[in-house]
């Protein structure tokens, strides 16, 4: 992150450098900084579906500004309606808004496009769990684990399912 921050501070820093900085900030847990970097990117290129989706997804992950997140993701999908990552983002923002049935439709669609993507499968598992479809959630989490999702996080979700089923 510090290297990318220095590169981004140089006059004429490219959008690619800023995008890589936003990714690094997000992955290192500096989500507010990533949001600020994405704001800079959107000022430069307000119609970039990648920037719109990334920022919308970041907001949805944080559970904040969900209407704004939805608008950004919708704009990204207008530009690329069959992009599985964008479809997953839409599903995730719907989930965060409490529209579980709408989220389920989009997350299933994302799995159909992307296959066994661990993030999408984890999102789908969360949605199925919250809909009370425990057996399907368990199978989906197990698929996510096989696809490379973080073992500790998935094992925690599976334990949660066990607790939901306990008398």
What are the pLDDT digits (tens) for 94-118?
Answer: 999 999 999 999 999 999 999 999 9
> 140 and 128 in contact (C-beta within 8 Å)?
yes
- Banded model confidence at residue 166, pLDDT cuts 50, 70, 90: confident
The number of C-alpha atoms within 13 Å of 122 and in the hemisphere containing its C-beta is 18
> 52 and 73 in contact (C-beta within 8 Å)?
yes
- Banded model confidence at residue 1, pLDDT cuts 50, 70, 90: confident
- Mean pLDDT calculated for residue range 142-154: 97
Residue 163 has pLDDT above 80, yes or no: yes
> 119 and 89 in contact (C-beta within 8 Å)?
no
Q: Please state, in angstroms and rounded to a whole number, the distance separating the CA atoms of residues 88 and 92.
A: 6
Residue 167 has pLDDT above 90, yes or no: no
- Mean pLDDT calculated for residue range 138-148: 97
- Mean pLDDT calculated for residue range 54-58: 97
- Banded model confidence at residue 37, pLDDT cuts 50, 70, 90: very high
- Banded model confidence at residue 28, pLDDT cuts 50, 70, 90: very high
- Mean pLDDT over the full length of the chain: 96
């Amino acid at each position: 992150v510090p290297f990318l921050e220095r590169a981004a501070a140089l006059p004429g820093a490219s959008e690619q450098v800023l995008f890589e900085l936003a990714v690094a900030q997000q992955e290192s847990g500096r989500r507010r900084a990533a949001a600020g970097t994405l704001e800079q990117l959107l000022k430069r290129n307000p119609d970039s579906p990648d920037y719109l989706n990334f920022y919308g997804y970041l907001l949805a992950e944080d559970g904040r500004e969900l209407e704004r997140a939805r608008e950004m993701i919708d704009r990204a999908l207008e530009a690329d309606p069959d992009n599985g990552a964008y479809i997953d983002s839409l599903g995730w923002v719907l989930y965060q808004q409490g529209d579980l049935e709408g989220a389920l439709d989009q997350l299933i669609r994302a799995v159909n496009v992307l296959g066994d993507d661990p993030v999408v499968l984890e999102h789908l598992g969360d949605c199925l769990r919250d809909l009370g479809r425990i057996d399907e959630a368990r199978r989906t989490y197990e698929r996510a684990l096989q696809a490379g999702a973080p073992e500790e996080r998935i094992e925690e979700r599976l334990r949660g399912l066990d607790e939901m089923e306990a008398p």
